[in-house]
Chain A
Amino acid sequence: MQLFMRTAHELHDLMMKKEISAEELSKAVFDRIESAEDKIGAFITRTTENAFKRARAVDRQIQSGEKIVPLAGIPLAIKDNICTSGILTTAGSKILSNFVPPYSATVVERFDAAGAAMVGKTNLDEFAMGSSTENSAFFVTRNPWNTSKVPGGSSGGSAAAVAAGEAVCALGSDTGGSIRQPASFCGVVGMKPTYGAVSRYGLIAYASSLDQIGPLARDVTDCALMMNVICGHDQLDSTSAQYQAQDYTGFLRDDVRGMRFGVPEEYMAEGIDPAVRAVIIKAMERLESLGAIVEYTTLPHTEYALPTYYMIAPAEASSNLARYDGVRYGIRAEDAEDVIDMFMKTRSKGFGNEVKRRIMLGTYALSAGYYDAYYLKALKVRTLIKEDFDRAFEKYDLLLSPVSPTTAFRIGEKTDDPLQMYLSDVCTISVNLAGIPGISIPCGFVDGMPVGLQLMGRHFDEGTLLRAAYTFEQNTDYHKHYPEL
């Protein structure tokens, strides 16, 4: 198999055995970027020099007999809403098209310390608002399995890069499904950790009570290795949880005997493509055959999750995006009469349609006279949705569902109808509202396009999620299929 399609843990072993060097690996990945990027469009910025500098440093370590940590020298892509010191960070928006952060996000610092070779910054829906990466202010990213289809979003560039061999692993962010849904559409592993497990310091904020950074990887082992790097308390994020970081690879055991899986019937109901449902049912049967207990259950408030999310997230966004005013960073509109006029012209020119739509919706929901009816109501329903999960986890270790109602859709298919686009998040948003961890793993294909299986777990129980995902992966070979470009 070609080098750029191998997993990080295989590549680590090859480097330790001196069969390949980190520099050769970076070269293989950049050659791949060179040949694939015209078709895919995963990267907004390439950081070629940075990657080779890192790779050579790792090679020197290996040469001098030092032991290197698991992700040292591994080519890593980073979603362009995660700040990288001295490297352009746009959030996919025209308003930040010239922004060079003076500091790095905590997750970037941690990957730097681990010796990872950052290859570039990936495309996304503007400010992570979208489900297809079509809302990027710059260009559309294409799905490596079929370039007339979307890669999903908002972390579409990160998912496409990993699927196409343009990076070995990647970081994304997930506010309503933005890691899991593109992972599902592109046939890779994607994990949204528990809210508070990973520092949000340096993540350009969309909806602060929902946002979480997480890994996109080729297999569950790589996902666990990335979790080892990014999880843990950070005093620069006041919502970072105080908990002991752990070695997630310790959970990677091929064993689900006696594990209890609940399948919320609302996630398998009408609206889910029958072909996708059939693939999920096959996955349920596979887990049962491995000794798991799989039963249907209910999350009765599921139908309210979508409207709840599309009230809370835009409300938080309207507040978070107030900072883009053309004063301290980003672009500024010329020819303003006074400062208010400058704000208005800058924001109108700098934001795209979806971002404006969410600012409008959120501003309306928070405005005088509507706060109780809309925003407060949504926060109360959020409690009911969270309680559904609490009850389900009294009986089940994990919940199981599709990641998205369909496989990847055609480019342009949903751009004119925001409600239709929002519906592609229907299986993933509750996880963010409840703050629990979720993972998407490849579980089959429909008409040549990948389908993702979603597993959801209790707060801070990523270990059980990874163990179940690992077991499924060890007993299937969907993760070994690669798109042909």
Chain B
Amino acid sequence: MITKKDVDHVALLGRLELTGEENDMYTRQLNDILGHFQNLERLDTDHIQPTAHVLPLKNVFREDVVGRHISREEALANCPDRHENFFKVPRIV
């Protein structure tokens, strides 16, 4: 059972600010959805390997050489605020 306090905690982890109404809604809906998930507990999976990825891929390596890349100006073109060649953000400490 997920409580409103859990929802507040998860929202903080996910960097979301919820209104009281939103908290109510997500508390109800997350409980509904996770209730549906309880069905999986019927399955014994103790000896089953998890599948994170369906292809038998290993780490893909390449030579460490400079490839094509976008320019600094292009990389900065979409940022809301900049200072010279840096992304600018509000006060951190």
Tell me the A residues contacting B by CB distance below 8 Å.
98-100, 102-103, 195-196, 209, 235, 238-239, 241, 301, 303-304, 306-308, 310-311, 318, 322, 325-332, 336-345, 347-348, 351, 353, 356-357, 359-361, 363-364, 367, 374, 376-384, 386, 418-419, 434-435, 459
Leading 6 A-B pairs by shortest Cβ distance: A435-B54, A379-B50, A329-B78, A332-B80, A380-B45, A102-B74
B10 surroundings in chain A (CB, below 8 A)? 360, 363-364, 367
In the complex, besides A330-B78, A351-B16, A360-B7, 15 extra interface pairs with C-beta distance below 8 angstroms are: A325-B15, A327-B87, A328-B87, A331-B80, A338-B90, A345-B17, A347-B17, A348-B16, A364-B30, A379-B52, A380-B45, A380-B49, A384-B43, A386-B54, A419-B36
A103 to B70, Cβ gap below 8 A? yes
A419 to B15, Cβ gap below 8 A? no
Which of B40, B54, B70 contacts A209, CB < 8 Å?
Answer: B54
Tell me the B residues contacting A by CB distance below 8 Å.
2, 6-7, 10-11, 13-18, 22, 25-26, 29-30, 32-34, 36-37, 39-41, 43, 45, 48-55, 57, 60, 62, 70, 74-75, 77-81, 87, 89-92
A363 to B13, Cβ gap below 8 A? yes
User: Mind listing 30 A-B residue pairs with CB under 8 Å?
Assistant: A102-B70, A102-B77, A103-B70, A196-B57, A239-B57, A304-B43, A307-B37, A328-B78, A328-B79, A332-B81, A338-B90, A340-B15, A341-B90, A342-B89, A344-B17, A345-B17, A347-B17, A351-B16, A357-B30, A361-B33, A363-B13, A367-B13, A377-B40, A377-B41, A377-B45, A380-B45, A380-B48, A383-B51, A384-B48, A418-B33
A102 to B40, Cβ gap below 8 A? no
B75 surroundings in chain A (CB, below 8 A)? 102, 328
A419 to B50, Cβ gap below 8 A? no
A360 to B14, Cβ gap below 8 A? yes
With A and B bound together, what is the CA distance between A480 and B58 in angstroms?
45
Which of A99, A209, A337, A377 contacts B53, CB < 8 Å?
Answer: A209
Closest B residue to A359 using CB positions: B14
A364 surroundings in chain B (CB, below 8 A)? 2, 6, 10, 30, 34
B13 to A378, Cβ gap below 8 A? no
With A and B bound together, what is the CA distance between A232 and B69 in angstroms?
22
A383 surroundings in chain B (CB, below 8 A)? 48-51
A329 to B15, Cβ gap below 8 A? no
With A and B bound together, what is the CA distance between A226 and B17 in angstroms?
43
CB distance from B67 to the nearest CB of A (A): 9
With A and B bound together, what is the CA distance between A7 and B2 in angstroms?
52
With A360-B14, A384-B48 already in contact, the answer to whether A338 and B91 are too (CB < 8 A) is: yes
A327 surroundings in chain B (CB, below 8 A)? 79-80, 87, 89
B60 to A238, Cβ gap below 8 A? yes
With A99-B78, A381-B40 already in contact, the answer to whether A196 and B55 are too (CB < 8 A) is: yes
With A102-B74, A364-B6, A419-B32 already in contact, the answer to whether A359 and B16 are too (CB < 8 A) is: yes
CB distance from B9 to the nearest CB of A (A): 8
Which of B6, B26, B89 contacts A339, CB < 8 Å?
Answer: B89
Closest B residue to A303 using CB positions: B39
B16 surroundings in chain A (CB, below 8 A)? 344, 347-348, 351, 356, 359-360
CB distance from B2 to the nearest CB of A (A): 7
Which of A351, A356, A374, A386 contacts B26, CB < 8 Å?
Answer: A356
A343 surroundings in chain B (CB, below 8 A)? 15
With A339-B92, A356-B16, A434-B54 already in contact, the answer to whether A304 and B40 are too (CB < 8 A) is: yes
CB distance from B56 to the nearest CB of A (A): 10
A363 surroundings in chain B (CB, below 8 A)? 10, 13-14
Among A99, A341, A361, A434, chain B packs the most CB atoms within 10 A around the CB of A361
Which of B51, B57, B87 contacts A386, CB < 8 Å?
Answer: B51
With A and B bound together, what is the CA distance between A341 and B41 in angstroms?
38
With A and B bound together, what is the CA distance between A146 and B20 in angstroms?
38
CB distance from A163 to the nearest CB of B (A): 31
With A and B bound together, what is the CA distance between A453 and B17 in angstroms?
43
Closest A residue to B52 using CB positions: A379
CB distance from B55 to the nearest CB of A (A): 5
CB distance from A428 to the nearest CB of B (A): 16
A357 surroundings in chain B (CB, below 8 A)? 26, 29-30
B49 to A235, Cβ gap below 8 A? no
A339 to B91, Cβ gap below 8 A? yes
B55 to A306, Cβ gap below 8 A? no
Among B6, B14, B37, B41, chain A packs the most CB atoms within 10 A around the CB of B14
With A and B bound together, what is the CA distance between A328 and B53 in angstroms?
29
With A209-B53, A384-B45 already in contact, the answer to whether A100 and B89 are too (CB < 8 A) is: no
With A and B bound together, what is the CA distance between A338 and B89 in angstroms?
8
With A and B bound together, what is the CA distance between A103 and B26 in angstroms?
36
Which of A241, A310, A330 contacts B33, CB < 8 Å?
Answer: A310
CB distance from B43 to the nearest CB of A (A): 6
With A and B bound together, what is the CA distance between A361 and B36 in angstroms?
13
Closest B residue to A381 using CB positions: B40
A311 surroundings in chain B (CB, below 8 A)? 37
Closest A residue to B11 using CB positions: A360
With A and B bound together, what is the CA distance between A306 and B13 in angstroms?
25
